[in-house]
């Protein structure tokens, strides 16, 4: 069960971003109530948003992309009963680094730091996948 806790941490981060996303959009929705059809597609809305609001949307979208692979790998490791201390450490590293990535994205949005942290989180994920592939051999 220990391997599932990091997954819950990432789910919590994503849930928090849902709240932040909605809270950032609610004033716009209220202000433009009844006149928002021009924003029915995100590509129509995004260019007109301030950078800060676009960063929130981008971060939320990022949490719907690669983390889905993390969820699948963690569940696979759990179901195969391959949980070990290294897998648990890597699994905690992934959401920990994604939290840092989100913090950078929503504050300074320094792309160099974001890329570094994203790369490190990806290494955690790839090592977990590689270890499972080796277990098949």
pLDDT > 80? residue 126: yes
CATH 1.20.120.550 fits 4-136, yes or no: yes
In whole angstroms, give the CA distance from residue 103 to residue 89: 21
pLDDT in tens, 64-104: 999 999 999 999 999 999 999 999 999 999 999 999 999 99
Paired tokens of 125: 């994920």
- Cβ pair 91, 126 in contact under 8 A: no
- Cβ pair 78, 4 in contact under 8 A: yes
pLDDT of residue 17: 97
In whole angstroms, give the CA distance from residue 109 to residue 102: 9
Domain ranges within the chain, ordered by starting residue: 4-136
Paired tokens of 21: 């996303």
Taking all residues of the chain, what is their mean pLDDT, rounded to a whole number? Answer: 91
Residue 50's nearest CA partner among 12, 26, 24, 74 is 24
pLDDT of residue 98: 98
pLDDT of residue 8: 98
| Residue 50, φ and ψ in degrees, nearest 5 | -65, 155
Q: What is the pTM of this model?
A: 0.89
Looking at residue 1, the DSSP 8-state letter turns out to be: -
H helices, E strands: number in the chain: 6, 0
pLDDT of residue 42: 59
In whole angstroms, give the CA distance from residue 97 to residue 94: 5
pLDDT classification of 43: cutoffs 50, 70, 90: low
pLDDT classification of 53: cutoffs 50, 70, 90: confident
Triad 69, 124, 87: Cα angle to 5°: 90
pLDDT of residue 50: 82
pLDDT classification of 35: cutoffs 50, 70, 90: low
């Amino acid at each position: 069960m220990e391997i599932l806790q990091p997954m819950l941490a990432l789910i919590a981060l994503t849930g928090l971003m849902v709240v932040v996303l909605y809270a950032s959009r609610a004033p716009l929705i209220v202000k433009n109530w009844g006149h928002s059809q021009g924003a029915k597609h995100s590509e129509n809305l995004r260019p007109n948003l301030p950078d800060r609001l676009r960063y929130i949307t981008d971060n939320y979208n990022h949490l719907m992309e690669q983390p889905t692979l993390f969820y699948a790998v963690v569940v696979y490791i759990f179901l195969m009963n391959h949980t070990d201390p290294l897998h648990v450490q890597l699994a905690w590293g992934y959401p920990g680094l994604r939290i840092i990535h989100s913090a950078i994205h929503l504050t300074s949005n320094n792309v160099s730091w974001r890329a570094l942290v994203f790369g490190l989180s990806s290494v955690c994920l790839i090592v977990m996948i590689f270890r499972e592939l080796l277990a098949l051999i």
